[in-house]
Chain A
Amino acid sequence: MDRAQSDALWGRLRTRFGAARHERMQALGHDRIEERREGSWVFDEQGKRYLDCDGSGGIFNLGRRPAEIVAEAKRALRETDQGNFPMVSWEKAELARRLADFTPSGLECTVFSVMRGEALDFACKLARGSTGRTQLLTVDGGWYGETGFALTLSDRPDRERFGPLIPDVGTIAFHDVSAACDAVTTRTAAVVVEVVQAENNARMLPEGMLEALRRRCDRVGALLVVDETQTGFGRTGRRFACEHASVVPDVLVLGEALGAGVFPIAATVFTQKVNAFLNSHPLIHLSTFGGSDLGCRVGLAALTVYERERPWVNAARAGSTIRQRLSEVVSQHGRAVSVRGKGLLLSLDLETAQRADRFCRVLSEHGVLASPGMVARRSVVLRPSLLIGDEEIETLEQAVEAALISNAASKV
């Protein structure tokens, strides 16, 4: 694509999506037209290569266009389509069965969605419906998505512009385990948490908090909902992040990593006990695109790859290598920048949003695609493919070093 063509495309983009979208992309060095994509990498209209550490919020755990999954998508395409959504199909039944095997023991039932926010909204509805209670609690600093319930639970400064939002939703203090537990009572339908707050500088739940919440929920009959949209499918070095604490939630929210970036599909997985509510109220929550037969076939292929490749093993290893090497690099460049995270969900704290934006821009110049956190705008999140090797780690290290030098040289 030549310069005139790309300029024309940016002009059209500004007309359709607004100039501000383009300007925001420029500020982050994301004003690139995506063309080829393969494995850990994407290529822009100039043929320049980038290590994809944005991953659309953690969709591409198996890299871009994993061959086996693309091949199965094509095979399935010759045989089927999305299907009529209320009907039974072997594809839905089989993927739900396989998810019961794949997720922590006791989680046996699935409702499919097309996207993460929808899966989270459904989890909240399920909690209210099955407990007959209305209160939903979360901790501060979370980010669950853009749809109604998800937005209400998210720590987002402009949230109330869209309100009034869902009533009877409360936020409990993140750091105080005992205060958090006290807040959960017999009128609580569910506590909704992320184990690692990806968009909030990879903040991890305090030690012992998930276990304490589990016990408290059991005591008062509330449900524990864990959103693993970004941490699931191996991202933190275990299959699911809740396994680090050996806690099994009542409801597990899975994001689009289920479709491996090939097909949009997400899921809410929960216990038989919770499903009693849906069994007596079938089709009370519908999703036209959720549980598409084609999508289920892609999800089945993805699960096969996840089970065989066990990418969480590499995520743990590569993640600790990167954290160590980045920490070393950081220590050599004046200004203090913290490196946090677990597995291949990493975050750098740049102190201000302005610095975080510029950091992303310099990373992009040096061939790494990354975005600031949605909650902690001063942070930069790194979530590459879980299958990365030495070449990717090298690229990342060099780009981060260049960005650190630029950051240290800058007054603001």
Chain B
Amino acid sequence: MRGTQSAGGVVPSDGDRITGEQKAAIEETFGRHVNRGQVRYLKAGHLDVLESRRQGIRFVDPVTGRQMIDCFTSAGCFNVGRHNPVVVAALEEALDSLDMGSAALTSTHQVALADKLAEIAPGDLSRVLFAAGGGDAVDGAIKLARAATGRTGIVSTVKAYHGHTGFALSANGKPHYRHYFEPLMPAFSFVPFNDLEAMRQVVGDHTAAILVEPVQGEAGIFPGERAYLEVLRSLCDERGALLVFDEVQTGFGRTGKMFACEHVGVVPDIMTVAKALGGGLFPNAAILYRDVEPMRSFVESNPNFHRSMVGGSDVGCRVSLRVIEYIEQEDLCGNAARMGGKLRAALEQLMGENPKIIRAVRGIGMMVGIEYIHEFLGPMMSDALAKRGVFAAYSGNAPQVMRFMLPITANTEEVDEVIAAIRGAIADMRRLLPLALPAAKLPFGLRLLNDERVQTSLFGAFRKVEDMFGGKER
């Protein structure tokens, strides 16, 4: 709180104007009291920027004053834009009379949001259980599936991302996130995404649930194929397993429909939602499920099997309700489809022009990914884009993959701006490749280039060279 902080604090007198010196102090404090490695890591990837004046699709780097278009959006939280005034007003109004509310009681706000979620949910997903965040929702969904079916097996997919709490982490398909914390829960298996045969082989009468993201996000944006998701549905029906869709990242218009599974018309038994539901302001999450056996009997005899003290809070529900209404009123789903399509088409054209830089462009709606040919291009592109006013992050443990997930409020001019910046950054890469590639061909060169610690120092040098080449243009 301003003016009352103890000595040694890093509260700026004006958060919109921060000097380089103040930024260094913030990073030092963050390094000491949160994580030094994270600061180093962000610097190496040129992602060490502070965010001020968050508005619409942009924020401003308070040190340089540079406007940045947010293409990361906290992995799909800011669907309605940064600091959306309509949602801000709803939160402000909620704070006039409410707080998080008593977990023991209920409120009109909680029931209203539950009704709204059931109304917009695909098919007959009509039951609701609130949770605090995506991981909590996935944990609850797996508990529901196991206990309701009386089975243990959970089939997840390779590279899947479901969160970091105990159940969600056990279902996480990236060894990177699991390795140091094992042994995790038994009876989880992993099959390649979009591989029907592999799925058919593992799903049996011990399987409680198949858990998938309809579009794998963190893995590098791989949309589930129609036939794949359809067969998952029938496979579950045949073998008495439940189908769980994790729509934490894909929900609320991100893919051009309210929920990604609507693209293929497949309704899961259980669906988890979070992120964008909070409007980028106030955390909220939910598990939606069908009012059918065996879930009905289990929940009716265990109504408090997964309690949350803070999920479905009164303030949170008021905000979430306004978020959904806003998405509907402004047809943000349609906008995400149109603007995302435009972005993807432009990136595909760029790929055709730059086969030595871009390996693939994937996506659906405003969930678009570029896969570069080399891992080291991820951090280099982050830097080149940042200089052109675009904040885009590469995947933590797959740095060749970069996600473009703008607020789905973005208009034509804004998307054109992003496309122009990407085009310019790719041109920078074309100039840099003749320097980087010979290094990559040396023994161990590529491995060194792809090592994040080496990148830290090397990219500093690259940046200087790049400035020599590109300085005149800017």
In the complex, chain B residues whose CB is within 8 Å of the CB of A293: 51
Taking a contact as CB atoms closer than 8 A, the residue among A79, A93, A110, A121 that contacts B165 in the complex is A121
Interface residues of A in 1-33 (CB under 8 A from B): 9, 12-13, 15-21, 23-25, 28, 30, 32-33
Contact of B166 among A25, A166, A294 (CB under 8 A): A166
In the bound complex, CA of A32 to CA of B170 (Å): 38
Find chain B residues with CB under 8 A from A59 CB.
100, 309-310
For A, the interface residue count at a CB cutoff of 8 angstroms equals 121
- A234 part of interface (Cβ distance < 8 Å): no
Docked-complex contact B302 and A158, CB < 8 angstroms: yes
Q: Contact: B143 with A162, CB < 8 Å?
A: yes
Which of chain A's residues have a CB closer than 8 A to the CB of B186? 164, 167
> Which residues of chain A from 290 to 310 have a CB within 8 Å of any chain B CB?
290, 292-295, 300-301, 304
Chain B residues, Cβ within 8 Å of A98:
5-6, 9
In the bound complex, do residue A369 and residue B106 qualify as a contact, i.e. CB atoms below 8 Å apart? Answer: no
Q: Which residue of the partner chain, among B181, B283, B310, contacts A128 with CB atoms under 8 Å?
A: B181
Chain B residues within an 8 Å CB radius of A369: 102, 104-105
**Contact-residue size bin, chain B (C-beta under 8 Å from the other chain):** 35 or more
Contact in complex: A80, B54 (CB < 8 Å): yes
Q: Which of A82-118 contact B (CB under 8 A)?
A: 82-90, 92-94, 96-101, 108-111, 114-118
Q: Which residues of B contact A88 (CB under 8 A)?
A: 26-27, 30, 38-39, 42, 48, 50
Contact of B299 among A20, A116, A371 (CB under 8 A): A20
Question: How far does the alpha carbon of A263 sit from the alpha carbon of B278 in the complex, in Å?
Answer: 12
Evaluate whether A283 and B133 lie within 8 angstroms (CB atoms) in the complex, with A42-B105, A84-B73, A162-B146 already known.
no
Stretch binding the partner chain, chosen from B87-95, B259-267, B344-352, B377-385: B87-95
* Chain B residue nearest in CB terms to A99: B33
B303 touches A285 (CB 8 A): no
B107 x A90 contact (CB < 8 A): no
A130 to chain B, nearest CB (A): 9
Say yes or no: B310 contacts A18, CB within 8 Å: no
CB-based contact B41/A282 at 8 Å: yes
A35 to B10, CA, bound (A): 38
CA distance A30 to B111 in the complex (A): 16
- Render A251-284 as a binary contact track against B, CB cut-off 8 A, 1 for contact: 0000010010111100000000001011111111
- A286–B48 alpha-carbon span in the complex (Å): 17
A232 to chain B, nearest CB (A): 14
Q: Check A151 for interface membership: any CB of B closer than 8 A.
A: yes
Residue contact B281 to A115, C-beta cutoff 8 Å:
no
Q: Does B388 contact A (CB under 8 A)?
A: no
The minimal Cβ–Cβ distance linking A157 to chain B, given in whole angstroms, is 11
> Are B38 and A283 interface neighbours, CB within 8 A?
yes
Inside 8 A of A55's CB, which chain B residues have their CB? 102
Flag whether B444 is at the interface (Cβ < 8 A): no
In angstroms, how far is the closest chain A Cβ from the Cβ of B152?
6
- Which residue of chain A has the shortest Cβ distance to B288 in the bound complex? A16
* B176 lies within 8 A of A284 (CB): yes
B30 touches A147 (CB 8 A): no
A81-B54, A116-B309 known; A56 and B128 CB under 8 Å? no
Determine whether the beta carbon of B310 is less than 8 Å from that of A93: no
Residue ID in chain B nearest A71 by CB atoms: B95
Q: How far is the CA of A177 from the CA of B19 in the complex (A)?
A: 55
> Which chain B residues lie closer than 8 Å to A100 at the CB level?
33
- CB atoms of A288 and B77 under 8 A apart: yes
Q: Determine if A152 and B166 form an interchain contact, defined as CB atoms under 8 angstroms apart.
A: yes
Q: Which residues of A contact B442 (CB under 8 A)?
A: none
- Compute how far the CA of A85 lies from the CA of B127 in the bound complex, rounded to whole angstroms: 30
Chain B 174-210: CB-based contact to A (< 8 A → 1; otherwise 0): 0011001111111100000000000000000000000
Q: Is B281's CB under 8 angstroms from A81's CB?
A: yes
B274 interfacial contact with A, CB 8 Å: yes
List of 5 A-B pairs having minimum Cβ-Cβ separation, nearest first:
A148-B166, A282-B37, A96-B33, A264-B310, A289-B283
- Chain A interface residues (CB < 8 Å from chain B): 9, 12-13, 15-21, 23-25, 28, 30, 32-37, 42, 44, 52, 54-57, 59-60, 64-65, 70, 72-74, 77-90, 92-94, 96-101, 108-111, 114-118, 121-122, 124-125, 128-129, 134, 146-152, 158, 161-168, 256, 259, 261-264, 275, 277-290, 292-295, 300-301, 304, 369, 371
23 contacting pairs across A/B (C-beta < 8 A) = A17-B127, A18-B303, A30-B104, A42-B102, A56-B309, A60-B99, A81-B78, A86-B38, A88-B30, A89-B51, A90-B10, A94-B29, A96-B29, A100-B33, A101-B6, A128-B180, A147-B165, A148-B165, A161-B146, A278-B37, A300-B5, A301-B1, A369-B102
